[in-house]
Amino acid sequence: MTASRSYDVRPPMGLLAELTHRCPLQCPYCSNPVALERRRQELDTETWRRVFAEAAELGVLQVHLSGGEPALRPDLPELVAACVDAGLYANLITAGVNLDRARLEELADAGLDHVQLSLQGATPEVTDHVANMAGAHVRKLAFAAEVTDLGLPLTLNAVIHRANLHQIDDFVDLALELGARRLEIAHAQYYGWALVNRAALMPTREQVVEAVERVEAARERLQGRLVIDAVVPDYYARLPKPCMNGWGRQSLNVTPSGKVLPCHVAESIPHLEFWNVAEHSLDEIWYDSPAFNAYRGTDWMPDACQSCERKEIDWGGCRCQALMLTGDAAQMDPVCEQSPYHDEVQALAVIDASGSPDFTYRRFARAT
């Protein structure tokens, strides 16, 4: 059933399945919500199987099995098989510190299509410091070697901030060395736990400019050998990013307990009501749930955005960031230079960039 609306809603393409919030790492920029869901709240195998079948029916093409650390779920091979049975492309997003060869073979046998490995640094000192886990770097490199040895396509994802921004060239070298097909260089986004550490993570404008130049040079040099995607840091930008490619336009997130969100931080917007897969089908949730329809299309936008020629390019930027920095999720994203808050945000970045480098680590390995 579809409610009447003034805009066109197309089926989603991607589903992020947050299988668990548990994680062995303690990254200071963790984007999971500040209030984590517990192990006892996690959906069981059968429910995930149904969710994947409903996702395929709805039009989803790709499932990103994520977390926390998805490999902490003992039923991960069954969940991969469930995606494959439903005809979905299965991508595993992992920290790569607790999957041995035998387990990886099980996943490959179940039909896993792709692995995305997070890197906190390009050297043991930086990785182990950022993840707050001794030996993490060595384990990640061993895992990456197993992935490519099994013939699985590998993407590396490096979240960049003040403590590792000097390693851009090293990340590129590492990607080539490890046989990755793609490298994502994504500047930390200041939501969730990352907001707690914003002053320790924020780079200076000069560092950002240099990093962008290095990424561009590597892209040019390695054309045809390595794909490099880059996400620039918001606060120094003039235009907002098209967060999620538009609210409720292309993808949905399912939390460990089955809440379905338009983006991974959406729960930070307190007035939104999220439907759960236990009570509604994904189809109902995608087309009719209040949270997905709250900022869909352009009708909700303030007047200045309504008359902007980029309104269907950046889709108003990021709703969660608008709330965080202006107190109103329906405001223009303050990263936009047209926003009355724009100068304030840039000033905030400059202040934070000289903040203490000490991290407040995310400790949730023992979530039960």
* Residue whose CB is less far from ligand FES, 185 or 244: 244
Write down the least CB distance from residue 62 to ligand FES, Å. Answer: 19
- Edge-first strand order for the sheet with 14-18 is 227-231, 182-187, 154-160, 114-119, 89-94, 62-66, 14-18, 251-254, 260-261
Select 191 or 287, whichever has its Cβ closest to ligand FES.
191
Q: Encoding tokens for residue 21?
A: 């919030």
Would the CA dihedral through 295, 300, 301, 307 be positive or negative? Answer: positive
- Whole-angstrom distance, CA of residue 229 vs CA of residue 215: 9
Nearer to ligand FES, 167 or 253 (CB): 253
The SS3 assignment for 263 reads: coil
- For residue 183, the minimal CB distance to ligand FES (Å) is 23
- Residue pair 144/122 in contact (Cβ under 8 Å)? The answer is no
Q: Least distance to ligand FES from the beta carbon of 294, Å?
A: 11
Rounded least distance, CB 92 to ligand FES, Å: 22
Binding site for ligand FES (CB under 6 A): 191, 243-244, 263, 265-266, 318-321
Take residue 4 and report the two structure tokens written for it.
Answer: 């009447």
What gap in Å lies between CA 198 and CA 75, rounded to an integer? Answer: 35
Name the residue among 336, 318, 330, 329 with its Cα closest to residue 244. Answer: 318
Residues 80, 89 contacting (CB under 8 angstroms): no
Q: Least CB distance from residue 334 to ligand FES, whole Å? A: 13
Placement of tokens 């995606």 in the chain: 83
Distance CA 223, CA 345 (A): 35
Q: Considering the complex, state which of residue 287 and residue 295 has its C-beta at the smaller distance from ligand FES.
A: 295
DSSP string, 172-199: HHHHHHHT-SEEEEEE---SHHHHHTHH
Q: Other CB atoms closer than 10 Å to residue 77's CB: what's the count?
A: 18
Residue tagged 């091979």 (tokens): 77
Closest CB to ligand FES among 185 and 325?
A: 325
Of the two residues 97 and 318, which places its CB atom closer to ligand FES in the complex? Answer: 318
Q: C-beta of 241: minimal distance to ligand FES in Å?
A: 8
23 annotated ligand-binding residue: yes
Nearer to ligand FES, 70 or 262 (CB): 262
Give the whole-angstrom CA distance, residue 140 versus residue 94. Answer: 10
For the bound state, the minimum distance from the C-beta of residue 269 to ligand FES, rounded and expressed in Å, comes to 8
Tokens of 284: 């109902």
Task: Enumerate the known binding-site residues.
Answer: 23, 27, 30
Task: Enumerate the known binding-site residues for [4Fe-4S] cluster.
Answer: 23, 27, 30
